[in-house]
Structure 1
Amino acid sequence: MTPRYRRTAARAAVLACVVFVAGCNSLPRPGPSAEEIVASSKRAGGDLNVVLVDGAVAQRAYVDPRFGFSQSFLTLPELRTDAFNAGDSLSVTVWENVDNGLLVGTGQKVANLQEIQVDQRGNIFVPYAGTIRAAGATPDELRELITESLGRATPDPQVEVRRLAGDGATINLIGGVSGQGVYPIEPSTNTLAAMLARAGGVTADPELAIVTVRRRSGSGRIYLQDLYENPANDIALRAGDTIIVEEDQRAFTALGATGAQARVPFPRADISAIDALAEVGGLNGNLSDPTGVFVFRREMASVANRVTGRNDMAEGEPFAYVIDLTSPGGIFIAKDFQIRDDDTIYITEAPFVAWTRVLEATSQTLNFAATLTRLGDRALE
């Protein structure tokens, strides 16, 4: 084989390598292109529902993020804090106006009934008066009930009722407050807001704080901000309530040509696509394609049917919502499109970036090829 032939063969092999690199799709990149995502849509035979977002889609895809208390919580009146509750202990003193009374010994006029406990049904038992409903009654009201019942068996009894201990009108307060603990429900702390203030206030971020109230009849939760803005949410407390304050745990993931790629906690209860992009530093001006902002999520069946105009969409259908920030009104559409928990925001690369990457790889290969050619020429001289 002649030296000239060897040089020609070496150069042809190098050029073939260059052509291979120029046409290769396996160069490093952050993810699929917009064209590849659209190509995986159901219309193209794939499994993904790809939806271009406009004002109507943004409205149909919106889900109210607010929690709320049930009517049973909202309509309960404030607790009578001087009333007895199940678990309370009380004493009853009875004066009788006869020598041989029902409850006293011979020659005595006063009977002391100590440590009477209100049972779980809310009742107490007093000899000769029977079972009497105590829960919900004040000491004065209970005194009148006992006097009336004893009056049937002894003339004109005088009765005194005192609360002893074991006040059942307490709540438990835990979580993101300055002072966790068990607190009595008093006239000044018988509503949710007053009790939170009594505990020193909320230590969690006010825009992220969620307040949950648990009681035997159920539970309810609201954002702390909703308590500030709507007085109706300042519900009356009940004995045994547990109040839990915690921060919102929702988050979204940002990928692709963004200022940062990370899992990002929600900054407040309700955020838009524009808010989410701002949280990660916006689009990367050198890499991103503003026409290819994708929001991936497993959609609820009710929302999926609203968005597509169908009625047969299953729960958890994969959706890719496309936002074109360069379209007329694109910024406003992005401000209206809601980001939800566990969403993934993916920014595709601009087309020129892929070409630049190929050109850089080609340039490096050409430089390498030129070096090989020079070395081959020297070896054959």
Structure 2
Amino acid sequence: MGKITKYILWIALCVTVAACGTLPRGAAIQTEITKGADKPEADFAVYPVSKAFLPSVAEWPKTGERGYNWLSHSHGSNAQIIRAGDTLNVIIWDSAENSLLMGPDERSTELSNLRVSEGGSIFVPYVGKVRVADRTPDNARMLLQRQLETVAPGVQVQLSVTEGRINSVDMVGGVSSPGNIRMPDQNFSVMAAISAAGGVNEALTNPQIKLIRSHKTYRTSLQRLFDNPDMDTRLRGGDRVIVEKDPRYFLSLGAAGAESQFDFNRDNVSALDALSIIGGVNDTRANPKGVLVLREYPASALKSGQRGPRQQRVVFTIDLTTSDGLFSARNFHINSGDLVLATESPVSSATVIVGLVGSAFGLVNIASN
């Protein structure tokens, strides 16, 4: 019986070694991913990330995000401008006896809630329609006073304005106090509106500013506005401003510190930034020479006459064991939707095989005894 048991264990040992090619692993080995890239029928291309390669890839189109423009800064009037839809409150003062504008023993009368019509005018008794749109409150006051002086020579006028829809903007979300915000003047900027709404929600990752004007959408990041004050464009009545988290993301799989989906926490995320965000690579399992970035380009990137990749599917390889690889990784930008794959070290699989073989020999020795 001892010889039979020993024979059975030797068979189990051979089966174990033969099955080592399909041992459970946490990630693929680099050669498994890049195998066949040099063949004419390959549907993907492999590019090592190096100092010499960076200028070329910088000219390739970005993937995974829609391009938006932003409006340059412009200066407007620091004065308030009356628009259609605004509401005026007018107080008329007249000290003359038997004034047509006052009742007995009255020295002032108030015309409240005078809504500026679509045509830009208000109605004033004894004067009729008066166009006040596109004027400052002080200019409109002087116009009313001149016209009322034809009826009451000593009249004086006070005027105040409550902004309507055309003289306000909507802070839709991403701020402490969203809602409709009145524009105090024509130099009211995006940053001023965010401040008036209580500031940006602190929970947002790399906040993005979306400005909707008429049927066009413009986008930039809050950090860019901080760094470039000349980008703090002024708003127009009816604009809608939305503050939201950066919608871009990348994925992490394999022998990495964490396997998950990660948001962009800044405008430009490099390969080294991405590795830091995911917690690096596993010290005992990962191949530091085989960090891969998988990306898929649109078909338009392959058109003749344009600088771009050879194939739509691209694998970028990063070697973290050389100075060129590390420096280049710091200057290689991750695109939205990229997959950062930390491949398994071949040594890790070899260690498992040795462990299995050693275990099998131990069983054989036990059976022999």
Q: Same fold (TM over 0.5)?
A: yes
Aligned 1:146-295 pairs, distance under 5 A: 162-163=159-160, 165=162, 167-168=164-165, 169-187=167-185, 190-204=188-202, 208-216=206-214, 218-295=216-293
**Superposed displacement of residue 232, structure 1:** 1.3
Is contact 1:94-1:158 (8 Å) kept?
A: yes
Q: 1:59 aligns with which of 52, 55, 59?
A: 55
Is contact 2:212-2:239 (8 Å) kept?
A: yes
Q: Tell me how many residue pairs correspond in the alignment.
A: 357
Match of 1:284, SS state, is: coil
Is contact 1:78-1:190 (8 Å) kept?
A: no
Amino acid in the other structure paired with 2:242 = I
Give the Cα–Cα distance (whole angstroms) in 2 for the partners of residues 22 and 33 of structure 1: 19
Corresponding residue of 1:27: 23
Corresponding residue of 1:107: none
Match of 1:50, SS state, is: strand
Is contact 1:94-1:157 (8 Å) kept?
A: no
Give the Cα–Cα distance (whole angstroms) in 2 for the partners of residues 189 and 202 of structure 1: 21
Give the Cα–Cα distance (whole angstroms) in 2 for the partners of residues 260 and 114 of structure 1: 64
Relative contact order higher in (CA < 8 Å, ≥ 6 apart)? 2
Give the Cα–Cα distance (whole angstroms) in 1 for the partners of residues 320 and 309 of structure 2: 30
Corresponding residue of 1:36: 32
Give the Cα–Cα distance (whole angstroms) in 1 for the partners of residues 52 and 302 of structure 2: 13
Give the Cα–Cα distance (whole angstroms) in 1 for the partners of residues 333 and 259 of structure 2: 20
Give the Cα–Cα distance (whole angstroms) in 1 for the partners of residues 361 and 40 of structure 2: 38
Corresponding residue of 2:70: 69
Is contact 1:142-1:161 (8 Å) kept?
A: no
Amino acid in the other structure paired with 1:202 = V
Match of 2:33, SS state, is: helix
Corresponding residue of 1:118: 116
**Superposed displacement of residue 215, structure 1:** 2.7
Corresponding residue of 2:332: 337
| Deviations 1:148-184, CA, capped at 9 Å, x for gaps | 9999x99999795734645342222243333333322
Q: Gaps spanning 5+ residues in structure 2: where?
A: 94-99, 103-107
**Superposed displacement of residue 45, structure 1:** 3.6
**Superposed displacement of residue 60, structure 1:** 3.4
Q: Please provide the CA RMSD for this pair.
A: 4.3
TM-score by length of 1: 0.75
Corresponding residue of 1:98: none
**Superposed displacement of residue 70, structure 1:** 2.8
Give the Cα–Cα distance (whole angstroms) in 2 for the partners of residues 340 and 20 of structure 1: 45
**Superposed displacement of residue 61, structure 1:** 3.0
- Summarize the Cα distance change of 1:295–1:131 in structure 2 as closer, same or farther, 3 Å threshold: farther
Corresponding residue of 1:138: 136
- Summarize the Cα distance change of 1:302–1:328 in structure 2 as closer, same or farther, 3 Å threshold: farther
Amino acid in the other structure paired with 1:162 = L
Percent same amino acid at aligned positions?
28
- Summarize the Cα distance change of 1:41–1:84 in structure 2 as closer, same or farther, 3 Å threshold: same
Deviates further, 284-293 or 11-20: 11-20
| Deviations 1:353-373, CA, capped at 9 Å, x for gaps | 1111122222333444555x4
Give the Cα–Cα distance (whole angstroms) in 2 for the partners of residues 70 and 252 of structure 1: 28
- Summarize the Cα distance change of 1:304–1:206 in structure 2 as closer, same or farther, 3 Å threshold: farther
Q: Gaps spanning 5+ residues in structure 1: where?
A: 96-100, 105-109
**Superposed displacement of residue 279, structure 1:** 1.8
Tell me which structure has the larger Cα radius of gyration: 1
| Deviations 1:114-156, CA, capped at 9 Å, x for gaps | 65432345455779988765432123444666789999x9999
